[in-house]
Amino acid sequence: MNAQEVITKARGHIVAMGKKSNDGVTGMSKKDDGWTVSMEILERKGIPDTMDILGLYEITMNNDGDLISLERRKLRKRGDTEES
């Protein structure tokens, strides 16, 4: 699989989990036994947008794109730019 196919598969796994809005891929890595993709997902819409709650998810897949694990690593407000 190429990078675009990996991202498409990862988004499909997120949608299957019931999440709808993908705010973007934040990282991707390839290992011998598969792929890991990190992406931010809108968890709760806020007003103003800077109050949106985003979840950082890590999706691990094998080389065929089958889901191995899907974990939410952290939550943050969209307006929070500080690394922790």
pLDDT digits over 47-74, tens only? 898 889 999 999 999 999 999 999 999 9
pTM comes to 0.84
Residue 10 CB contacts under 8 Å (≥ 6 apart), including other chains: 25, 35, 37, 39, 59, 61
Give the total number of structural domains in the chain.
Answer: 1
Confidence (pLDDT) at 83: 66
Gap between the Cα atoms of 30 and 6, Å rounded: 10
% of the chain surpassing 70 pLDDT: 95
Would residue 82 count as lying in a domain? no
Confidence (pLDDT) at 25: 94
Domain around 56: 3-77
Gap between the Cα atoms of 58 and 33, Å rounded: 16
Would residue 84 count as lying in a domain? no
Strand segments (E) across 1-84: 22-31, 34-44, 53-62, 67-77
